[in-house]
Amino acid sequence: MIWVNLILFLLFLAILIKTADYAIKYSSRIARTLRLPEFIVSFFIVALISVLPEATIAIISAIEGEPSMSLGTLFGANIADLTLVFGVVTLFSFNKIRVRSKILNNNFFYLIVLIFPLVLGLDGIYSRADGIILILTGILFYVKVYAESRRLRKKFNHAPKGHLGRDLLLLAISLGVIIFAASFTVKYSVGFAQEIKIPTVLIGITIIAVGTCLPELIFSIKAIKENKDDLALGDVLGTVITDTTIILGLVALISPFNYNLSNLYVTGGARLLGGIIVTLFMKSEKSLSKLEGLLLVFFYIAFVFVEFFVNKVV
């Protein structure tokens, strides 16, 4: 039964990741057809599609009474995005990733948003009131970013001779498959964790978190190869902020939950520390170098080891 749960978990996770990639593809086509600015596409459309794997897993976990899986998946995906994804994308860059956009240069503002969920969670519970506050924070954040992005005039140079209706239909199908695959990913991951007697939060923080980060990783690597650094950075930062506020808020609204404070301190602290390190790296010469990317990857590896130790002790 262990192997059945493991194989089915990995199968549905793979379907989830691949379908998210298709969803990004079709949403980008729609945005290009509508001639939306590139930054809006990465920070809003692609980022919102990118969060769907972890979002659907987190929400379904909350509905099925596994809120620790929700918290582990969201915070774990955040840490993987800020360290592992940024690090790997930087290593794939030609030399370094340039931080050109004025919005991206204002990244201390992102740190404030990252701190906010930690402050709300210091009492050991995320209530429905906390959920509403987080959702409103996310909405206000996007309103602010959108207002600033209107000053960015760069648009896609050409709109493909696409089929808007077909792309909309394929996007809708992709979103449906994502929800379907996510429900079974949760089911078999929880079953696997119970079989091998490890906390489900560890499954969320490690395997699921890294797996659900693959869509933004793939998109960002493609953007880097096309010398569109702001697209890559906007996608990852947009994904992290959405997970941190809106998705976590929805989970708390659906199913308010308690959690072990040691997990919050380690996971939340690592997420905040990762954000501070990325911010400092971006501020240095307004770029991310390959050495800095390598350090971010090592940071994630160290985080995983600490998490396994803490959960084993707990």
Domains and their CATH numbers in the chain: 2-152+163-313 (1.20.1420.30)
Residue type, 132: I
224 φ, ψ (degrees, to nearest 5): -65, -40
Q: What is the pLDDT of residue 136?
A: 93
Q: What is the pLDDT of residue 150?
A: 60
Q: Which parts of the chain sit beneath pLDDT 70?
A: 36-47, 67-68, 99-108, 148-162, 200-201, 226, 228-232, 235, 284-286, 311-314
Average pLDDT over the chain, rounded to whole? 77
How much helix, strand and coil, in percent to the nearest 5, is found in the chain? 80, 5, 15
| Helix, strand or coil, per DSSP, at residue 243 | helix
Task: Note the pTM of the prediction, 2 decimals.
Answer: 0.76
44 vs 55: CA distance, rounded Å: 15
Q: What is the pLDDT of residue 105?
A: 54
Let me know: does 81 contact 236? Beta carbons within 8 Å. yes
Among residues 186, 284, 52, which one has the least CA distance to residue 276?
Answer: 284
